[in-house]
Amino acid sequence: MMLLKILFRNAFHNKLRSSLTILGIAVAILAFGLLRTVISSFYAGVEAASASRLVTRNAISIIFPLPISYTEKIRQVEGVKMVSYGNWFGGIYINEKNFFPNFCVEPRTYFALYPEFILEERQKKAFLADRKGAVAGQKLAAKFGWKIGDTITLKGTIYPGNWDFILRAIYTGRDNTVDQTQFFFHWTYLNEAVKKRAPVFAEQVGFYMIGVTRPDVAADTAVMIDKTFKNSLAETLTETEKAFNLGFIAMSEAIVTAIQMVSFIVIFIIMAVVANTMAMTTRERTGDYAIMKTLGFGAKDITILIFGEALVITLTGGLIGIILTFPAARIFGQELATYFPVFLVSAQTIYMDVAAALIIAFLAAIIPTRHAIRIRIADGLRRIG
């Protein structure tokens, strides 16, 4: 009990130094937490992927289309429960800064495959009945102030011209990990327009989204689908939704790796700062530790004092950093919703924050503790005065 009292009072004895160290740790943990959340948000699509969904695309590249005629053949493959399809539209709303993902899809099957997108029944019916109808995520609608019935014009990049849509439904997420920044409209609306403007590009889809009967048949089903189109003009590559999304992340792997490295560098720097603080503190208290050893306290007691002090400082800073991470992530997520539609501080990030704080305390205290234990009492006492 007395040791606890001493270590707590020691930790805050030099208020300015302790406060600055705690502030440094809090900022480092906050930065670490945000960077880890950025990394998690890269993988949000992977985490949200269903094991019962497959994605089929052109085997050469995602930018090459597949014929719509594959729909029926895929539906006949054993293990397939439902087939939907769509295209990346790549439209721009007013200007390029307003980027959001927009797709044309076969709506009945697509929303059936994505039960995590929640639509009001009335709105859903209105959307399905209107060929020019569109569905937007709640966050996207809120960002641009869209209301049901509004006309939204997108400027086509892949499909030139201005495209008008009537917002018929706004979807929400089953939970907060669902991306609510997407925009969907009818594939037939696009296809009919393409038929008139550039018939050679009509009757084609960018991807097939396939629901399988059970997750355990997904791998075999994927193989069978690709086998079906072997040696055709447009061979397919079918993979799980998770693998498909991971493929996209692989394109940004260098960025993810760089962010990971920066997050660890931040921790390393603060570790050096805390280690320096602990070294200074221990040097100043050499006399105190010597007198405690003189009175009969042992190496274990000295270790508790130094490690305890380091823990009090780092965990206080760590706790403040963790508490600040939540509002900071909320602001960060709002500002960068276009790039990180799902920006949530995960439990794993908090565990990593706590682990980082503990590691900082442990490593910063090792050398000062070793020094304090090994110094001869007579030498320690000589430091006083």
Partner 1 sequence: MMTEQKKPIVEIKNLYKSYHRASLVVPVLYDITFDIAEGEFLALMGPSGSGKTTLLNLIAGIDKVDEGTIHVGDVDITTLSETELAAWRANSVGFIFQFYNLIPVLKAVENVELPLHLTTLSKSKRREHAEIALAMVGLDHRMDHYPGEMSGGEQQRVAIARAIVTDPTILVADEPTGDLDRVSAEEILSMMERLNRDMGKTIIMVTHDPRAASRASVMRHLDKGYLNHDAAQNPL
Of residues 267-306, which lie at the interface with partner 1 (CB under 8 A)?
287-288, 290-298
**Range in contact with partner 1 (rule: CB under 8 A) among 129-137, 191-199, 351-359, 372-380:** 372-380
Residues in CB range of 189: below 8 A, 6 or more apart: 104, 131, 132
Binder of partner 1 out of 10, 236, 281, 286 (CB under 8 A): 10
Distance of CA 100 to the CA centre of its chain: 17
Q: How far is Cα 117 from Cα 171, in angstroms, rounded to an integer?
A: 6
Question: Residues binding partner 1: what is the number (CB under 8 A)?
Answer: 24
Check residue 200 for interaction with partner 1 (CB under 8 A). no
**Range in contact with partner 1 (rule: CB under 8 A) among 1-9, 79-87, 264-272, 350-358:** 1-9
CA distances from 105 to 27, 70, 185, 332 (A): 44, 15, 6, 31
Check residue 4 for interaction with partner 1 (CB under 8 A). no
**Range in contact with partner 1 (rule: CB under 8 A) among 162-170, 183-191, 203-211, 374-382:** 374-382
Closer residue to partner 1 (CB): 290 or 365: 290
Shortest CB 363 distance to partner 1, Å: 25
CA distances from 338 to 25, 51, 140, 182 (A): 30, 26, 9, 10
Closer residue to partner 1 (CB): 232 or 294: 294
Helices (H), the chain: 2-11, 15-42, 44-48, 70-75, 107-113, 121-129, 138-144, 187-197, 218-228, 241-251, 253-284, 286-295, 299-335, 347-374, 377-382
Which of 338, 256, 262, 331 lies closest to 40 in space, CA to CA? 256
Check residue 347 for interaction with partner 1 (CB under 8 A). no
Closer residue to partner 1 (CB): 116 or 284: 284
Closer residue to partner 1 (CB): 246 or 381: 381
**Range in contact with partner 1 (rule: CB under 8 A) among 165-173, 181-189, 234-242, 375-383:** 375-383
CB atoms within 10 A of CB 195: 13
For residues 312 and 8, the answer to whether their CB atoms sit within 8 Å is yes
Check residue 112 for interaction with partner 1 (CB under 8 A). no
**Residue 36, CB-side half-sphere exposure with 13 Å CA sphere:** 24
Binder of partner 1 out of 5, 97, 147, 196 (CB under 8 A): 5
Place of tokens 């760590």: 318
Shortest CB 313 distance to partner 1, Å: 15
Shortest CB 373 distance to partner 1, Å: 10
Q: Which chain residues interact with partner 1 by CB under 8 A?
A: 1-2, 5-6, 9-10, 13, 287-288, 290-298, 376-378, 381, 384-385
